[in-house]
Amino acid sequence: MHGEWQKVDSIAEFLLKTLGSAPDIAMVLGSGLKDAAFGLENEKSISFADIPGWPRSTVTGHSGVLRKGRIGGVEVLLQLGRVHLYEGYPVEEVVRPVRSIVAWGTRNVVMTNAAGGINPWLKPGMLMFIEDHLNLTGRNPLVGANDDARGQRFPDMTDAYSRNLRALLVEEASRMDIPFKMGVYAGLLGPSYETPAEVVMLRRLGADAVGMSTVLEAIAAVHMGAEVAGISCISNMAATYDGPKLSHDDVKETAGRVTEHLTRLLVALTGKLRRAR
Ligand code: HPA
């Protein structure tokens, strides 16, 4: 773990050198969401490949770039693309980007993902604000020696997903008539989609949506004291015996269609942050 924190710190220093001071808020955009058309003022960007120590993604649908700039006076970082456990990366590499961004000094982190809807209230194209998660990956980024200067050995997860940020998202989505629900996100290892029987199991466990990211990054960011929000873009209904077969292309295509709502919502969130300061 000691060596891992050195890597995190050296990325944070590199970001400070190349992109300047830490942004007020970082937004991680996953599968199919990377085309979000954010207009940033004073934009600076850097591709993952040019950041020493930053893991590089192999899955299609993920470009790898950091964009930093202002939206109405608020400094925003967009992380376009992430790496996943299912690509074969160890858990510390999956969470290294978010740790580096928080170590840089960012206090607010919004994690987005594409997810399969389990709760019938959810429909493809809707947003789900994550209230809580089930970490079913079988991993935890905090395993190993703890550095008490970074966070607690046994961090509380009662409010892992910030009530404050969620309230702002609800307020803005309601104001803009963007369809959303709140719910529990189940994070699985993947990369195979769930079987119908697994989807039944997840429903009984209390999951409203299912995906293959976010939970480990959220745990790592909460451990370091960041405020975390999670937004799932419901790209499909999770597998059922009589439902359609799932394809990554369809997931990306629907996620892409939600991007417009997601972008408007995230821009509105930055406006709220500005007023809250
Ligand atoms: N299952 C798991 N991950 C997903 C899904 C799904 O149905 N859709 C998008 N990501």
Q: Is 236 in the pocket of ligand 1 (CB under 6 A)?
A: yes
Whether ligand 1 lies within 6 angstroms of the CB of 185 is answered as no
With cut-offs at 50, 70 and 90, classify the pLDDT of residue 121.
very high
Distance between CA atoms of residues 46 and 265, nearest Å: 24
Mean pLDDT of 61-71: 81
Q: Would you call 126 a catalytic residue per the annotation?
A: no
Judge contact between 248 and 60, C-beta under 8 A. yes
The DSSP annotation for 164-226 comes to HHHHHHHHHHHHTT--EEEEEEEEE--SSPPPHHHHHHHHHHT-SEEESSSHHHHHHHHHTT-
Share of the chain above pLDDT 90, in %: 79
User: Which residue, judged by its Cα, is nearest atom 9 of ligand 1?
Assistant: 115
86 part of the active site? yes
182 C-alpha vs ligand 1 centroid, how far in Å?
Answer: 17
For position 246, what pLDDT does the model report? 80
* pLDDT tens digit sequence for 73-87: 899 999 999 999 999
**Is any ligand 1 atom within 6 A of the Cβ of residue 187?**
no
Q: For residue 222, how far is its CA from the centre of ligand 1 (angstroms)?
A: 24
Distance CA 117, CA 107 (A): 29
What pLDDT band is residue 39 in, cutting at 50, 70 and 90?
Answer: confident
pLDDT of residue 57: 61
* Ligand 1 closest atom vs CA 117: 7
Alpha carbons 177 and 138: distance in angstroms, whole number: 37
Given pLDDT bands bounded at 50, 70 and 90, which one contains residue 31?
low
Q: What is the pTM of this model?
A: 0.94
Catalytic entry in 100, 213, 232, 235:
213
What does pLDDT average to over the chain? Answer: 92
Residue 255's pLDDT band (cuts 50, 70, 90) = confident
The larger pLDDT score, comparing residue 179 to residue 240, is at 179
User: Helix 91-104 crosses helix 215-223 at what angle (to 10 degrees)?
Assistant: 40
* Whether residue 259 has its Cβ less than 6 Å from ligand 1: no
Residue 61: pLDDT band with limits 50, 70, 90: very low
Distance CA(6)–CA(249), nearest Å, equals 38
Which of 20-29, 155-164, 268-277 shows the lowest mean pLDDT across its residues?
268-277
Helices (H) and strands (E) in the chain, counts: 6, 9
174 classed as catalytic: no
Overall average pLDDT of the 243-270 stretch = 85
> Is the confidence at residue 130, as pLDDT, over 60?
yes
Mean pLDDT of 125-138: 97
84 is catalytic: yes
Task: Say how far apart CA 74 and CA 67 lie, in whole Å.
Answer: 14
Instruction: Name the more confident of 83 and 37.
Output: 83
Q: pLDDT grade, residue 63 (50/70/90)?
A: low
pLDDT of residue 275: 63
Q: Is the pLDDT of residue 35 over 80?
A: no
What domains, with CATH codes, occur in the chain?
2-276 (3.40.50.1580)
Q: Is 212 a catalytic residue?
A: yes
Give yes or no: 31 in active site.
yes
How remote is the CA of residue 122 from the centroid of ligand 1, in Å?
Answer: 13
Query: What is the maximal distance between C-alpha atoms in the chain?
Result: 54
Give the mean model confidence (pLDDT) for residues 187-198: 96
* Catalytic annotation, pick one of 4, 12, 26, 31: 31
Tell me how long the chain is. 277
Chain centroid, CA 61 distance in Å: 15
Rounded CA separation 82/94 (Å): 8
